[in-house]
């Protein structure tokens, strides 16, 4: 636990504490009264209300749209199911900047709806809600559908035999069993939408602002650190409460489940109702998930002769000091470095948490590892600038600063991916190897590594995809001569002109393709019949 604890203390807790201290402490005196002053401001109360309201609305809408998809993936077997599963998951690993750009191409000025019917939804709450459903659809399908596929269907069949209707059997038997997964998915969707930044920044305009967007505005535009510190504390407390509720909900209900092999519960659709449900899910995926990405690609090809892509190879001296195409190499290099760091830190933390003799302190660290996913990335990025500025941690001019920020987001995914697999390793295998004279290092190499190798590769893939699209912290620390892809897209969208807009679409398309390829590789690893975890 030593290295993960030091890493999170130095590169997460310290920067966040530094910006909060800088905002609430003036001339050595704590201004705690600033908390009530800021929260009492009408515009701040409006931000808090809108952040909560849109998160609740996004969560409810995502559950409503995605629950039929969870059933289809859990209970029905049909050709192309694995490919469709990968397609459904692509939006979740896309950077939020790309999601916002895709919906801007669909519902914004000059978008598909504007060209066909003169309808514009950008700068409206509907664009934000639809983009959030697009982004979080896979969370519900994967979380709820994964458990649904393992529920014993004979329990519901027994209720039907005893006279219950199909609806009653589902409500009385299946739904209570799905409770932990539905609650977990809802809380995760609420967490992601509560801390939404890139989507709201691009689609919301000046009329709508979440806590994350307001923290960015207060720090980078107004430079009011005290207000930003108060908002950071409010978001930190909210995220902590959500994570505690998530852990309590899952722990309270999971012990009553009766699970079977998921491969035995899926069957080909039978009857008109199941075929109609499958068709409706396919239409939903096509319209809600595929169409925005297709429109994004189409807008990037609007100019003749791939002009927008060709323009990426030239530096105009305005937006960047280098050609925008250089952002691709920068992002890949940063993501590789961040993946190495995240895998190292996350693997060590998962190994410590997987030990059966782990104490309460180690188990409590498990919850703390999730905080970087919910705490303002903007706060972390700005905290890097104001805290890592003195030897021996003067890293403001170092390239490693961006991978460190990205690794903070990738490490929790590594822990969540590897921890269940490490806990499933039979301790007797390790003990037998030790009895035969193997050193601890050789026990890990000969016993643990072959078992967790697939999980390790998947964890590395997720860390790579997440690092590639990190935007909230990187926007502060990426330099103009070394921009990342998400930062380049946001800056191009922030400048007027069709050429800048087209280049943003082209860069977003490139970023989408890279993330999609990474996901398809992960899906191939996950479904490789040589063994699953």
How do the domains of the chain map onto residue ranges?
A: 1-31+303-533, 32-300
Structure pTM? 0.80
Mean residue pLDDT of the chain comes to 81
Q: What pLDDT is recorded for position 203?
A: 86
Mean pLDDT of the 418-430 span? 78
Nearest CA to 336 out of 453, 465, 455, 476 is that of 465
Q: What pLDDT is recorded for position 65?
A: 94
Q: What pLDDT is recorded for position 247?
A: 65
Q: Do domains 1-31+303-533 and 32-300 have the same CATH topology?
A: yes
Predicted confidence band at 256 (pLDDT cuts at 50, 70, 90)? very low
DSSP state of 25: E
Query: φ, ψ for residue 40 (rounded to 5)?
Result: -85, -10
Give me the sign of the Cα torsion angle 186, 189, 195, 196: negative
Cα gap 473→463, rounded to integer Å: 16
Mean pLDDT of the 282-286 span? 93
Mean pLDDT of the 287-310 span? 88
User: What is 1-31+303-533's CATH number?
Assistant: 1.10.3720.10
Provide the β-strand partners of residue 25: 30
pLDDT of residue 187 exceeding 90: no
Q: What pLDDT is recorded for position 344?
A: 93
User: What is 32-300's CATH number?
Assistant: 1.10.3720.10
Q: Which of 54-58, 114-118, 272-276, 514-518 has the highest mean pLDDT?
A: 54-58
Higher pLDDT, 493 or 287: 287
On the 0-12 / 13-18 / 19+ scale of CB atoms within 10 A, 434 is: middle
Q: What pLDDT is recorded for position 270?
A: 82
The two three-digit tokens of residue 496, written as one number: 């007027």
Cα gap 349→469, rounded to integer Å: 23
Cis peptide bond prior to 392, omega within 30° of 0? yes
pLDDT of residue 455 exceeding 90: no
pLDDT of residue 20 exceeding 90: no
Mean pLDDT of the 317-345 span? 84
Predicted confidence band at 530 (pLDDT cuts at 50, 70, 90)? very low
pLDDT of residue 340 exceeding 70: yes
Q: What pLDDT is recorded for position 360?
A: 66
Higher pLDDT, 346 or 261: 346
* Contact (CB, 8 A) for 322 and 481: yes
Higher pLDDT, 378 or 432: 432
Look at 98-112, 280-294, 320-334, 362-376 and tell me which has the smallest mean pLDDT: 362-376
The C-alpha angle with vertex 512 and arms to 221 and 90, in degrees rounded to 5, equals: 110
């Amino acid at each position: 636990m030593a290295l993960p604890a030091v890493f999170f203390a130095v590169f997460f807790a310290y920067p966040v504490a530094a910006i909060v201290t800088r905002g609430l402490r003036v001339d050595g005196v704590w201004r705690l009264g600033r908390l009530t002053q800021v929260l009492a401001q009408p515009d701040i109360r409006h931000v808090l209300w809108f952040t909560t309201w849109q998160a609740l609305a996004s969560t409810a809408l995502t559950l409503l749209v995605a629950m039929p998809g969870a059933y289809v993936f859990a209970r029905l077997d049909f050709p192309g199911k694995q490919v469709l599963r990968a397609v459904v998951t692509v939006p979740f690993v896309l950077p939020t900047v790309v999601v916002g750009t895709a919906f801007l191409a669909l519902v914004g000025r000059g978008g598909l709806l504007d060209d066909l019917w003169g309808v514009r939804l950008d700068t409206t709450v509907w664009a934000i809600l639809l983009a959030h459903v697009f982004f979080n659809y896979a969370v519900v399908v994967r979380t709820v559908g994964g458990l649904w596929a393992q529920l014993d269907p004979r329990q519901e069949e027994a209720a039907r035999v005893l006279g219950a209707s199909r609806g009653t059997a589902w409500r009385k038997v299946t739904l209570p069993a799905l409770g932990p997964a539905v609650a977990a998915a809802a809380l995760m969707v609420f967490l992601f939408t509560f801390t939404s930044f890139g989507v709201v920044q691009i689609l919301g305009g000046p009329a709508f602002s979440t806590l994350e967007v307001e923290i960015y505005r207060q720090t980078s535009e107004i430079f009011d650190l005290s207000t930003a510190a108060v908002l950071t504390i409010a978001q930190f407390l909210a995220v902590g409460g959500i994570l505690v509720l998530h852990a309590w909900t899952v722990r309270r209900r999971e012990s009553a489940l009766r699970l079977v092999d998921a491969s035995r519960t899926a069957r080909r659709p039978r009857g008109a109702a199941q075929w109609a449900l499958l068709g409706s899910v396919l239409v939903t995926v096509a319209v809600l998930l595929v169409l925005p990405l297709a429109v994004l690609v189409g807008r990037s090809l609007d100019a003749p002769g791939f002009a927008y892509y060709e323009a990426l190879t030239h530096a105009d001296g305005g937006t960047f000091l280098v050609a925008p195409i250089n952002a691709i190499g920068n992002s890949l290099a940063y993501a590789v470095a961040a993946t190495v760091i995240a895998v190292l830190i996350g693997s060590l933390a998962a190994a410590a948490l997987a030990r059966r003799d782990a104490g309460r302190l180690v188990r409590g660290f498990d919850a703390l590892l999730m905080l970087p996913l919910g705490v303002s990335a903007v706060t972390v990025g700005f905290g890097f600038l104001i805290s890592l500025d003195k030897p021996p941690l003067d890293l403001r001019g170092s390239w490693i600063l961006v991978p460190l920020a990205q690794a903070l987001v990738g490490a929790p995914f590594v822990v969540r991916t590897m921890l269940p697999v490490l806990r499933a390793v039979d301790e007797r295998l390790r003990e037998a190897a030790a009895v035969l004279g193997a050193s601890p290092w050789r026990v890990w190499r000969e016993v643990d590594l072959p078992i967790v190798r697939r999980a390790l590769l998947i964890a590395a893939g997720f860390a790579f995809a997440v690092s590639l699209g990190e935007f909230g912290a990187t926007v502060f620390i990426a330099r103009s001569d070394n921009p990342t892809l998400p930062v380049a897209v946001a800056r191009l969208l922030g400048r007027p002109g069709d050429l800048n807009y087209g280049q943003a679409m082209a860069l977003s398309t490139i970023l989408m393709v890279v993330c999609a390829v990474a996901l398809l590789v992960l899906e191939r690893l996950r479904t490789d019949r040589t063994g699953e975890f």
